[in-house]
Amino acid sequence: MKRISFKTNFILTVIFVIGSGFMLLWASNSLGDYWARIITLMAIYGIMATSYTLVNGVTGIFSLGHAGFIAVGAYTAALLTLPIQQKAMSFFITPLIWPLNSIQMGFLPATIIAGCVAAFAAFLVGYPSLRVTGDYFAIATLAFAEIIRIVIQNSYSVTNGSLGLKGIPPYTTIWWAWGWLLVTLIVLGSFKFSSYGRALRAMSEDTVAARAMGIDVFKHQLMSFVVSGFFAGIGGALYAHWLTTIDPRPTSLGIMLTFFVLIMIVVGGLGSLSGAVLGAVFFAFSAQWLRIVESPMNFFGLTIPGIPGMSMLIFAVVFILIMLFWRRGIMGRDELSWQYIYNHFSKRVGDQD
C-alpha cells in the first residue's frame, strides 16, 4: 500500500479547500437565499458536531451537555453584538445590567469571547462531572446543561429570561460559518493526531491501561472537554446570529439540540471529525427536506392534514435503524483523508484483477 507523502497531501488539501470556496461562492450567488441559509446551517451544525465528537467519540466519554455550552456561546455573543437601542427595547421587564447594556462590538471578537466563556463553562461543568464515569457522567452533564438553561430562563437582568433575545444582527453568512468550520477542523484535527489526541484515543479504549502508561486521565478528559466547549460556544455564537432570535426553550437551545448533534455524530461515525461534518450536512439537508411530510398532503384523493413533529418521528426511526444495522456510521473512526480515498480506490482496482 503506497503512502501519500505530506507534500502531496498538503497540496491536494489546499486545492480542495480553494475548490470548496468556489463551490460556496457559486452556491451563495445562484442558489438563492433559502439554500444559502441551509448551506450556512450545515457549517454551523458541522462546528457543533465536530466539537461534540471530540468528547463523545475521540475521548470516549458520553456527554449530554453540549447544548448547554452552545447556549452559553449563543447568549454571550448575542449580548455583545446586540445594538444598544435594541437591548433597551427588549429588556422592558427588567433592564439589562451594566456593563452589558452599554457594549456593542463586532462579530469576530464577540464570537471569540463567546467561545472562551463557553470553554470556561465547560471547565466548571467538567471539573465535578468527570469525577464520575459512564452513565453517571452522561446524567451529570445532562443535568448541568439543564441547569444552564434554567439559569438563563430566570436571569432576567442578563438574558431577558424566557422572553429571549431578538433583533440579533444577522451577521452569520456562508463565509463566516464555513470559515469557522475550517478553523475548527484544522484545530481539532491537529489536536486529534497530536500525542494528546493519541492519549485521548488510548483512554477511550482502555482507561486502566492508559492510567498504567502514566496518563493523567482526568486532566486529559477535562482538557478535551474544555476544547470542545470552546468550539461549541463558537457554534452557538454563529447559530444565534443565524437565527437572529434566541430563547431558552428546551426545543431551541436545550436538550433537543444535544440530540440533534448526537444524531449527526452517530450518523457520521463516532470519533471521526470528517464524519461529523458529513453527518451535519446530512442532517441539515434532510431536516429541510422532511418538511414535506409536515405539510398537508393530498394522497390519492385523501387529504392528510400537516402533522407537526412528523419529521422528528422519521428521524427517530432512521436513528434506530442506524443503531441496529449500520453502527459504524458513514466514516466509522476513520477520517476522510486522501490516503483513505486512495486506499479505497486501490482496493477496488485490486479486486478487479
Partner 1 sequence: MSDVLLEIKKLNVFYGAIHAVKGIDIDVKKGEITTLIGANGAGKTSTLNSIVGLVRNKKGNIIYKGKEVSHLKPDAIVKSGIALAPEGRRIFPNLTVEENLQMGAFFRKDVAEVKRDLKWVLELFPRLKERLKQMGGTLSGGEQQMLAIARALMANPQILMMDEPSLGLAPLLVKEVFGVIKRVKREGKTVLLVEQNAAAALSIADYGYVLETGNIVLKGKGKELLANDEVRRAYLGVTV
Q: List residues binding partner 1 (CB under 8 A).
A: 195, 198-199, 201-202, 205-206, 208-216, 333
**Interatomic CA distance for residues 129 and 224, integer angstroms:** 13
* 221 closest CA partner among 237, 204, 234: 204
Backbone angles phi, psi at 248, to 5 degrees: -90, 35
Give the DSSP letter of residue 57. Answer: I
Minimum CB distance to partner 1 smaller for 210 or for 277: 210
Minimum CB distance to partner 1 smaller for 253 or for 273: 273
Smallest distance from partner 1 to CB 211, Å: 5
Minimum CB distance to partner 1 smaller for 211 or for 291: 211
Please answer whether residues 240 and 152 qualify as being in contact, where contact means their C-beta atoms are separated by less than 8 angstroms: no
Minimum CB distance to partner 1 smaller for 139 or for 202: 202
Smallest distance from partner 1 to CB 194, Å: 11
**Interatomic CA distance for residues 138 and 134, integer angstroms:** 7
Smallest distance from partner 1 to CB 220, Å: 10
Count CA atoms closer than 13 A to 22's CA, side-chain side: 5
Smallest distance from partner 1 to CB 137, Å: 19
Task: Please list, in sequence order, all residues whose beta carbon lies within 8 angstroms of the beta carbon of residue 52, skipping any fewer than 6 positions away.
Answer: 63, 66, 228, 232, 261, 262, 264, 265, 276
Smallest distance from partner 1 to CB 143, Å: 26
Minimum CB distance to partner 1 smaller for 216 or for 345: 216
* 59 closest CA partner among 211, 192, 255, 216: 192
Burial string for 20-36 (b: 16+ CB within 10 Å, else e) reads: eeeebeebbeeeeeeeb
Minimum CB distance to partner 1 smaller for 209 or for 316: 209
**Interatomic CA distance for residues 306 and 129, integer angstroms:** 42
Smallest distance from partner 1 to CB 210, Å: 7
